[in-house]
């Protein structure tokens, strides 16, 4: 840590851009805190709709994370362990939502799950369920955007895990499912936890896909980011307060991530 060798000193041409980068990343947050109307904070938070948006955000992000865990961990296993052909194509497909503009994702979801969509019309005909503009749509939009983060993280953990432990389990009478539950999962638990937190944070901040697919209805689909955007046009102070709340939640997540999981995952 305390290495002071000549080679570890930062070369001058890197120093200035690096400092600029730090300033660029930190200044807006500082600006946000400076402009925060701290005296009105209580009143703003108590305003109708704020608590609702926050609750909706937390609930939908948590549900999206749960859904991502349920579907994403098995997918990560398949990507990491299966020797099936076309695995790299599958991985590429899975990671598309990572690079896809979320609004495009929202449009795509709308086309598939909308009332006229392939899956949507079937859901409507069979169960009388319509997804768009419901809280379920929020969860689906967030899952679509956030699940790849979990998949990538868990796949990495699975690849890094020592596969010989699974051999040991097999010689001890554990079938593949038992091995997965009792050996593989606990071994990659730190990676799963880190992936889940990343996924949750991404879902919490989701905007584009949500507003496209789920709309912006207070109480059912208006999450915090949507509320911030709306508030900025009508009451900038409210937007700032809401932003600070999101910032606080994000920072808390980061702390949790660092202390609880990243440290252990890296150890």
Partner 1 sequence: MSLTATVDTRRGTLHLRVAVEVADGEVLAVLGPNGAGKSTLVRVLAGLLRPDAGRVVVDGEVWDGDGASVPAHRRRLGMVFQDALLFPHLSVADNVAFGLRTRGTGRAAARAAAEGWLTRVGLDGLGGRRPAELSGGQAQRAALARALVGDPALLLLDEPLSALDARTRLAVRAELRRHLAGFVGSTVLVTHDPVDAMALADRVVVVEEGRVVQAGTPADVSRRPRTDYVARLVGLSLLPGTAKGRLVRLDGGGAVAVAEEAAGPVFAAVRPESVSLYASRPDGSPRNVWPARLVGATPHGATVRCELAGEVPLIADVTAAAFAEMGLTPGAEVWASVKASEVAVYAR
Q: Which residues of this chain interact with partner 1, rule CB under 8 A? A: 162, 164-165, 167-175, 178-179, 182-183, 186-187, 189
Nearest distance in Å: CB 261, partner 1? 15
Nearest distance in Å: CB 14, partner 1? 39
**Given the complex with partner 1, which of 83 and 164 has the nearer CB atom?**
164
Q: Which residue has the tokens 């896809």?
A: 100
**Given the complex with partner 1, which of 139 and 196 has the nearer CB atom?**
196
Could you give the CA distance from residue 24 to residue 52 in angstroms, rounded to a whole number? Answer: 32
Q: How many residues does the chain have?
A: 267
**Given the complex with partner 1, which of 38 and 177 has the nearer CB atom?**
177
Query: Where are the alpha helices (H) located in the chain, listed in sequence order?
Result: 12-35, 41-46, 50-81, 87-99, 102-113, 118-127, 135-160, 164-171, 176-179, 185-204, 208-213, 224-234, 236-256, 263-266
- DSSP 3-state of 259: helix
Which residues, 6+ apart, have CB-to-CB distance to 172 below 8 Å? Answer: none
Burial 248-258 (b: 16+ CB within 10 A, else e): ebeeeeeeebe
């Amino acid at each position: 840590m305390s290495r002071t060798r000549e080679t570890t000193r930062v070369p001058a041409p890197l120093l200035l851009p690096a400092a600029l980068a730090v300033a660029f990343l930190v200044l807006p947050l500082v600006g946000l805190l400076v402009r925060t109307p701290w005296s009105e904070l209580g009143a703003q938070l108590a305003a109708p709709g704020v608590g609702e948006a926050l609750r909706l955000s937390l609930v939908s992000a948590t549900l999206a994370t749960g859904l991502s865990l349920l579907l994403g961990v098995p997918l990560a296993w398949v990507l990491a362990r299966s020797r099936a052909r076309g695995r790299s194509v599958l991985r590429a497909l899975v990671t598309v939502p990572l690079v896809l503009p979320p609004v495009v994702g929202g449009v795509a979801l709308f086309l598939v799950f909308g009332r006229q969509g392939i899956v949507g019309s079937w859901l409507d005909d069979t169960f009388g369920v319509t997804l768009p503009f419901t809280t379920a749509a929020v969860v689906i939009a967030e899952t679509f955007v956030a699940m790849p983060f979990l998949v990538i993280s868990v796949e990495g953990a699975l690849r890094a895990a020592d596969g010989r432990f699974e051999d040991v389990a097999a010689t001890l009478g554990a079938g593949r499912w038992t091995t997965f539950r009792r050996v593989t999962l606990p071994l990659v638990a730190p990676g799963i936890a880190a992936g889940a937190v990343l996924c949750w944070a991404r879902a919490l901040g989701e905007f584009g896909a949500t507003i496209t697919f789920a709309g912006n209805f207070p109480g059912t689909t208006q999450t915090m980011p949507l509320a911030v955007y709306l508030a900025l046009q009508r009451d900038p102070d409210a937007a700032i307060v809401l932003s600070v709340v999101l910032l606080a939640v994000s920072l808390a997540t980061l702390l949790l991530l660092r202390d609880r999981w990243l440290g252990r995952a890296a150890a």
